[in-house]
Structure 1
Amino acid sequence: MKSINLLTNILFVLLPFSFSFGQSVTIPIETENVAIVLKTDGNNRLKIIYFGKSLSNINEYEQTGEVFNFRSEGASSNNNAYAVAGIDNNFTEPAIAVVHVDGNNSLDLLYESHSTSKTSDGATLTVVTLKDPVYPFFVDLYYKAWKDKDVIEQWSVIRHTEKGNVVLNKYASANLYLNNRDYYLTSYNGSWIKEMQPVETHLRQGMHTIESRLGTRENLLTSPNFMLSLDGKATETSGTVMMGQIAWNGNFALQFETDVYKNLHIVAGINPYQSAYHLKPNTSFETPRFVYTLSFEGKGKGSRNLQGWLRDHALLDGRGERLTLLNNWEATYFDFNQDKLVSLFGGAKKLGVDMFLLDDGWFANKYPRNDDTTGLGDWEVNRRKLPDGIPFLVREAEKEGVKFGIWIEPEMVSPKSELYEKHPDWVIKQEKRPEIYFRNQLVLDLANPEVQDFVFKVVDDLFTENPTLAFIKWDCNAPVFNGHSKYLERKKIPQSHLYIKYSKGLQNVLERIRAKYPTVPMMLCSGGGGRSDYNLLKYFTEFWLSDNTDPLERVFMQWNYSYYYPAIAMCNHVTDWSKDKSLKYRIDVASMGKLGFDIRANELSERDMKFAQQTVRNYNDFKDILWHGEMYRLASPYEDDMASLMYVNEQKTEGVMFNYLTNWRDVADTSLRPIKLQGLDKDKTYKLTEINLYEGTNTPVDHQKVYSGEFLMKVGFNPSVSKYRASVVIKIKSVK
């Protein structure tokens, strides 16, 4: 009988399965290389008994917990699958804390049932139901495992049937338990133009928290991404590393707690900061996804897992195409009119890009948008600047052979605007306190369905008037200050719901937009890189990394972002931000992603224009490898005087290698040694060709020489990077 029960519980089942007290239940969640094993103890509490490499013999998961001897002084209580607050058997940070209708704040969650099934998008979904033995209170734990990507999504659904509202003071998406020994956490801090600055922390006993409390721009100061090396520091090609993010477009918290036994407990979810949630009976609260991968082959494999998963299963049109563009922002800022814009369309066509993007400043009449202090919210075209409207610009761009896109910031409002005058109750603010502005604006209350309708209408009206509009750049610049919602006040909904209602209101708007306009490309922007979560990227085709377009700074930023996002999602523009770097260097750096230009193309010299045209043609030649291929980091700008990375297509027949100097001092050590390539077929032979060269420029790269894949990966290739060759782009192609 025991063997039958064991097999029944370990093998994936398609129907819910329940057990009574005294019978142990083992639930493995597996990908190709990763396993999380859950098991009930003698009190029917669900424990995490294993997190590591998957086993070929599924029956052996039952024994994984037996080889760890953490049984004294509360250690046996630390590995709860979903730790609760309010009872004595938990010594770690809780994943959930509630107050019941009767005022009791205790909670105990016991295993009730589980089910495992295949999803329509190719994953395996395991759902485990936990129930309080005293109160009719339930938590469903969801584990969605992507076998071929080694990626797991975790979230929870909380529900009850008590006779009144239960207050959720904490409601995490996931709770994990790791019994390794040595943990190095990389988190990313920053601010405007300083996004994704990595900080490595050696985790010792105690709590380390990564969190945001900004309400909208969750990534302004702290990223929801993390990298955790287990059992010592991982490298690009070796070591065990966990990587991922909490996929939520609002306040988040990632808590890493190391106990006295050197075990690590991770609690991830919405930040409960000022967000106690009053849950009605017979309704459910679904938390955001906690997305992560576990790699046993270093950071590079982990990042390829996440990039592939995002392309295939999260990013909108992740396997599709993207538009190269010319943006007018740094060329004109707010100072433009109809004739000036039309004169720029020819420059876009001459460059060879696909589209012209009109940025901020095209709207508002009573308070015209001539700077960033007025007009937000008044989304009618400025008739003085554009007397013939947006349809005229769309037609004129199309006559030149380029598509037309436009910038909006529909979640925000200027205090000096007609919208603010008409609907002051639509603005998030404390009426009894002074208004606090960030970038001279306030946040609209997307908890309010009327405001949601307004924001949807901004987009819908643009497409109704301009059916061939090709692109939307969606900006969001202000965080929430003095958070208070008149709508929630009128509806007698607790103000502590505001942050969650705002985020879900934004999702409602985006769902409506995508239901009506499913394929139009949209860029996610937030004062630069203030938003980049996987949750919003299911509505957007790409995101803007940073307003900092200095190419040297971008080498580092793009390097860090690339651990979590594929190149097809990362918008990189060539600008005049740093003219001390050559046009070649700027274009080469921007080519490591979705290429765009933000320059005065009509002011380029004939030589520079000819070079830029060539680079766009080259980009069009290798962009499919870049967008859909596998990425390998070869030399780190944090460890070397240069950065080197490459992309290889699925067939391993073509690739592109980018090399960027990052230290211009005479002591820079760049061209002395070869760089070992990765991802090639050792049995294939390859030719390497340097591209993106000005006409008449000599190259030390022998375009006729043939190398075996084995040679390039074991010995390497020297791109000869120096002060005089600050960026080198190499096209790799297999030959017979």
Structure 2
Amino acid sequence: MRHLLCAAMGLALAGNALEAAENQVIRISTNHTDLVLQVAENGRLYQTYLGEKLLHESDLKELDWAVHAASDGSVCKRGWEVYSGSGNEDFFEPALAVTHNDGNASTWLYYVSSSMKEVEGGTQTDIVLRDDAYPVEVTLHYVAYPEEDVIKTWSEIVHQEKKPVYLSAYASTMLYFNRGSYYLTEFTGDWAKEAQMSTGQLQPGKKIVDTKLGSRAAMHASPFFMVGLDQPASENQGDVLMGTLGWTGNFRFTFEVDNVGNLRVIPAINPYASVYPLERGEVFATPEFVFTYSTEGTGQGSRNLQNWMRKYQLKNGTGDRMTLLNNWENTAFNFNQELLAELMREAKDLGVDLFLLDDGWFGNKYPRKDDKAGLGDWEATQDKLPGGVPALIESAKQAGVKFGIWIEPEMVNPKSELFEKHPDWAIHYPNRERYYYRNQLVLDLSNPEVQDYVCGVVDKLMKENPELAYFKWDCNSPITNIYSPYLKERQGRLYIDHVRGVYNVMKRVHANYPDVTMMLCSGGGARCDYEALKYFDEFWCSDDTDPVERAYIQWGFSHFFPAKAMCAHVTSWNRASSVKFRTDMASMCKLGFDIGLDELSQDELAYCRAAVANWNRLKPAILEGSQYRLVSPYESNHMAVNYVSEDKASAVLFAYDIHPRYQEKLLAVRMQGLDPEKMYLVKEINLMPGVTSSLKANGKVYSGDYLMKVGLDVFGFQQMQSRVIEFVAQ
């Protein structure tokens, strides 16, 4: 009887139209992956398959939407509902929770229609679902990119009830798996220890990875994850789901193993303190969730995402990148116009493209002498920089380099002219003592007037200095003192509308200055989401530039980002390591320097110049080629990564001895991605002046087959040593 009642509810929704849709199959495919959905006889939409692509279309009809539910099956037939609403017969975590005008908190969504259209690089599928008792509609969007084996999905929620409804859950999607075991790899950390990887088996119940920081949101947890199916995620074999949410605010990943051992994965905005009042006719669009399903381990999954990101997501993803010299680690706040001009000449001597002026250049009534004052007052400090930014750009031109500048326009110091004039523009309590992170407050980007102000910071700098070539855009504080003077009684919208305001600013700046290079920074790598990187060319992975720590940080981030998006600088952190080791570590990403050249010996400076030239020459492999992670620092005392150009004519291997044990067993490193039929000349580069290579293979020619099956002995026993080896097809 219960089964009949469940089916009857669906049939009542759409009558004959529903009968026509019954058992309709919707296939969302890439070259190697299938996501298959089916409309059941109850009129609702279920996932029937997610995995390696099925070869025969006829097999799709054999997939059954109903799953074994154990005791839960006593209610009615159960399936993996694609966008499950709260209050229905499913007893586990929903995608959507709505409180309607009459106080009813249940939502049952039924299939209405679906359509497909071609978009750049792939096919978009749109599916409309509707509640049978309330005028609430959800549209599910999927874009499948066949060549890259990537699927992007998001949802849109709208209603026509007379008054606002209240959303307390609003996921981007839901994905399901039926395997023997599941292993979650998460990327967590803090300032100076970003993207630290840890793996654990998911047990019955819920595992939640989330953040409540508002801005600088990824400081403790990164917005991406990996799930190994039947085994922990492995580099070169095994099935793995790799996913990331494009949201620079609070996010939540829910991993729930149910009563029969099935897993549901729910990526979403974190609804913490965000019961959202949705107005009639207003469309609530969730963030995009981007994922790949790999049957060849995380290495192939990473290459899928890196390739897709360069083509379709990252700003200027197929364009060039500039090397640079930053002044922060050299001078901090202590500089003047003459010193900066000298550093620009040093940048030219080093061979980099650009000089980047960091924090400390602005504020007059409250000059930026430290981090306690000046944020918000974006005028050059007269006694420090009497010629202002125009004089600095002129000095850069005379030196023969481009000029970039640091800004943090979303923040304000209470000790600033901006806060004196507009205290209501900052997020802060009206009736409590304020507390501060880094002596600053977050501007309220839910307020359109504040959005205009932030855009105006960039507009003013660009209008006065049209030759500005680069912005480092920082965000050093999470949201504190959590109250919006603008939203007043609508505080449930703050965490969401603030992020929407941030993106609105980013879109406007990008539209006005599409050719200006932008670095995304947040006290290090606490902003690293795919959505923000639509408007930024690259991001700062971490303030920690110790090359040993950077090995782990860069290894972690490389699972989801191409090298050209990941900024890495040579600094004075960890002086126990050589300049060569520090430079070689930075060279596996987007190379930059943040060091006083007067600290370097003549040999070290000559080495750095040569390393910059080599990096520029190897851009086709490092920036545009395929990356292969060969030896993990998590599993050994060494690390190795190689890049191969698209035409397989050139490759480069970065090999690092981090902390080898005394006389430990050393293994040959086997390359990946080469053409087995090609012959490659092996040459060690990035050598200190006067040093000859001790690599036995140096100067010899090997087949790609040999290099991938036998490999080369590149590791040694010394602490913090490195090799960079170039392979050129003959």
> TM-score per shorter chain, which class?
over 0.9
Residue aligned with 2:54, SS: coil
Deviation for aligned residue 1:483: 1.3
- Aligned counterpart in structure 2 of residue 714 of structure 1, from 701, 709, 715: 709
Aligned to 2:72: 74
- Please tell me whether the aligned partners of residues 700 and 720 of structure 1 are also in contact (alpha carbons under 8 angstroms): no
The answer to whether residue 557 in structure 2 is matched with residue 558 in structure 1 is: no
The amino acid of 1:360's aligned partner reads D
The answer to whether residue 109 in structure 2 is matched with residue 109 in structure 1 is: yes
In the aligned structure 1, how far is the partner of 2:69 from the partner of 2:545?
Answer: 54
Residue aligned with 1:340, SS: helix
The answer to whether residue 611 in structure 2 is matched with residue 637 in structure 1 is: no
Aligned to 1:723: 718
In the aligned structure 2, how far is the partner of 1:668 from the partner of 1:638?
Answer: 16
Aligned to 2:94: 94
Residue aligned with 2:267, SS: strand
Residue aligned with 1:129, SS: strand
In the aligned structure 2, how far is the partner of 1:263 from the partner of 1:693?
Answer: 53
Residue aligned with 2:461, SS: helix
**After superposition, where does 1:154-169 map in structure 2 within 5 Å?**
154-169=153-168
Percent identity of paired positions between Structure 1 and Structure 2: 48
- Please tell me whether the aligned partners of residues 660 and 719 of structure 2 are also in contact (alpha carbons under 8 angstroms): no
Residue aligned with 1:223, SS: strand
Residue aligned with 1:613, SS: helix
Deviation for aligned residue 1:639: 1.1
The amino acid of 1:81's aligned partner reads V
The one-character-per-residue Cα deviations of 1:482-537 (angstroms, maximum 9, x if unpaired) are 21111112xx5x11101111101111111111111012100000001110000100
In the aligned structure 2, how far is the partner of 1:564 from the partner of 1:207?
Answer: 24
The one-character-per-residue Cα deviations of 1:570-614 (angstroms, maximum 9, x if unpaired) are 000000011100000000000011100001113322111111111
- Please tell me whether the aligned partners of residues 244 and 306 of structure 1 are also in contact (alpha carbons under 8 angstroms): no
Q: TM-score, normalised by structure 2?
A: 0.96
- Please tell me whether the aligned partners of residues 240 and 297 of structure 1 are also in contact (alpha carbons under 8 angstroms): yes
The structure-2 alpha-carbon separation of the partners of 1:239 and 1:270, relative to structure 1 and needing over 3 Å to count, comes to same
Aligned to 2:302: 303
In the aligned structure 2, how far is the partner of 1:283 from the partner of 1:259?
Answer: 34
In the aligned structure 2, how far is the partner of 1:131 from the partner of 1:28?
Answer: 20
What is the RMSD of the two structures over their aligned residues, measured on CA atoms? 1.4
Aligned to 1:5: none
The structure-2 alpha-carbon separation of the partners of 1:728 and 1:18, relative to structure 1 and needing over 3 Å to count, comes to farther
Residue aligned with 2:542, SS: coil
In the aligned structure 1, how far is the partner of 2:600 from the partner of 2:309?
Answer: 37
The answer to whether residue 529 in structure 2 is matched with residue 533 in structure 1 is: yes
Residue aligned with 1:27, SS: strand
- Aligned counterpart in structure 2 of residue 612 of structure 1, from 608, 611, 614: 608
In the aligned structure 2, how far is the partner of 1:725 from the partner of 1:478?
Answer: 34
Deviation for aligned residue 1:673: 2.5
In the aligned structure 2, how far is the partner of 1:725 from the partner of 1:253?
Answer: 38
Aligned to 1:682: 676
- Please tell me whether the aligned partners of residues 344 and 602 of structure 1 are also in contact (alpha carbons under 8 angstroms): no
Aligned to 2:617: 621
**After superposition, where does 1:43-442 map in structure 2 within 5 Å?**
43-65=42-64, 70-74=68-72, 76-87=77-88, 89-119=89-119, 121-442=120-441
Deviation for aligned residue 1:235: 2.0
In the aligned structure 2, how far is the partner of 1:23 from the partner of 1:450?
Answer: 50
In the aligned structure 1, how far is the partner of 2:82 from the partner of 2:29?
Answer: 16
Deviation for aligned residue 1:211: 0.4
The structure-2 alpha-carbon separation of the partners of 1:351 and 1:452, relative to structure 1 and needing over 3 Å to count, comes to same
The amino acid of 2:83's aligned partner reads Y
In the aligned structure 2, how far is the partner of 1:366 from the partner of 1:700?
Answer: 59
The amino acid of 2:722's aligned partner reads S
- Please tell me whether the aligned partners of residues 577 and 720 of structure 2 are also in contact (alpha carbons under 8 angstroms): no
Deviation for aligned residue 1:22: 7.5
Unaligned runs of 5+ residues in structure 1 are: 1-16
Deviation for aligned residue 1:283: 2.1
How many residue pairs get aligned? The number is 711
The one-character-per-residue Cα deviations of 1:27-49 (angstroms, maximum 9, x if unpaired) are 11111111111112221111111
The structure-2 alpha-carbon separation of the partners of 1:252 and 1:215, relative to structure 1 and needing over 3 Å to count, comes to same
The amino acid of 1:70's aligned partner reads H
**After superposition, where does 1:19-30 map in structure 2 within 5 Å?**
19-20=18-19, 23-30=22-29
Aligned to 1:694: 688
- Aligned counterpart in structure 2 of residue 705 of structure 1, from 697, 700, 707: 700
In the aligned structure 2, how far is the partner of 1:21 from the partner of 1:169?
Answer: 34
The one-character-per-residue Cα deviations of 1:409-451 (angstroms, maximum 9, x if unpaired) are 0000001111111111001011111111001101001111111
Residue aligned with 1:174, SS: coil
In the aligned structure 2, how far is the partner of 1:355 from the partner of 1:430?
Answer: 42
Residue aligned with 1:269, SS: strand
In the aligned structure 1, how far is the partner of 2:21 from the partner of 2:368?
Answer: 70
Aligned to 2:5: none
Q: TM-score, normalised by structure 1?
A: 0.95
The one-character-per-residue Cα deviations of 1:379-436 (angstroms, maximum 9, x if unpaired) are 1110010001110010111111000000000000001111111111001011111111
Unaligned runs of 5+ residues in structure 2 are: 1-15
The structure-2 alpha-carbon separation of the partners of 1:588 and 1:258, relative to structure 1 and needing over 3 Å to count, comes to same
In the aligned structure 2, how far is the partner of 1:253 from the partner of 1:128?
Answer: 24
Aligned to 1:9: none
- Please tell me whether the aligned partners of residues 581 and 720 of structure 2 are also in contact (alpha carbons under 8 angstroms): no
- Please tell me whether the aligned partners of residues 22 and 43 of structure 1 are also in contact (alpha carbons under 8 angstroms): no
The amino acid of 1:587's aligned partner reads T
Aligned to 2:37: 38
Aligned to 1:12: none
Aligned to 1:444: 443
Larger mean CA deviation between 358-367 and 690-699 belongs to 690-699
The amino acid of 1:615's aligned partner reads A
The structure-2 alpha-carbon separation of the partners of 1:186 and 1:720, relative to structure 1 and needing over 3 Å to count, comes to closer
Deviation for aligned residue 1:19: 3.7
In the aligned structure 2, how far is the partner of 1:224 from the partner of 1:476?
Answer: 17
- Please tell me whether the aligned partners of residues 21 and 42 of structure 1 are also in contact (alpha carbons under 8 angstroms): no
Larger mean CA deviation between 237-246 and 712-721 belongs to 712-721
Deviation for aligned residue 1:74: 2.5
In the aligned structure 2, how far is the partner of 1:246 from the partner of 1:642?
Answer: 31
In the aligned structure 2, how far is the partner of 1:419 from the partner of 1:581?
Answer: 43
The structure-2 alpha-carbon separation of the partners of 1:624 and 1:211, relative to structure 1 and needing over 3 Å to count, comes to same
Deviation for aligned residue 1:667: 4.3
Larger mean CA deviation between 461-470 and 229-238 belongs to 229-238
The one-character-per-residue Cα deviations of 1:131-189 (angstroms, maximum 9, x if unpaired) are 11111111111111111111111110001111121111111101111112211100011
The amino acid of 1:98's aligned partner reads V
The amino acid of 1:85's aligned partner reads S
The one-character-per-residue Cα deviations of 1:314-337 (angstroms, maximum 9, x if unpaired) are 000011001100000011000111
- Please tell me whether the aligned partners of residues 638 and 660 of structure 2 are also in contact (alpha carbons under 8 angstroms): no
The structure-2 alpha-carbon separation of the partners of 1:725 and 1:136, relative to structure 1 and needing over 3 Å to count, comes to closer
The structure-2 alpha-carbon separation of the partners of 1:425 and 1:690, relative to structure 1 and needing over 3 Å to count, comes to same
Larger mean CA deviation between 232-241 and 138-147 belongs to 232-241
The structure-2 alpha-carbon separation of the partners of 1:84 and 1:69, relative to structure 1 and needing over 3 Å to count, comes to closer
Aligned to 1:590: 586
In the aligned structure 2, how far is the partner of 1:429 from the partner of 1:208?
Answer: 32
In the aligned structure 2, how far is the partner of 1:624 from the partner of 1:30?
Answer: 30
Residue aligned with 2:455, SS: helix
In the aligned structure 2, how far is the partner of 1:387 from the partner of 1:256?
Answer: 56
Residue aligned with 1:103, SS: coil
Larger mean CA deviation between 179-188 and 347-356 belongs to 179-188
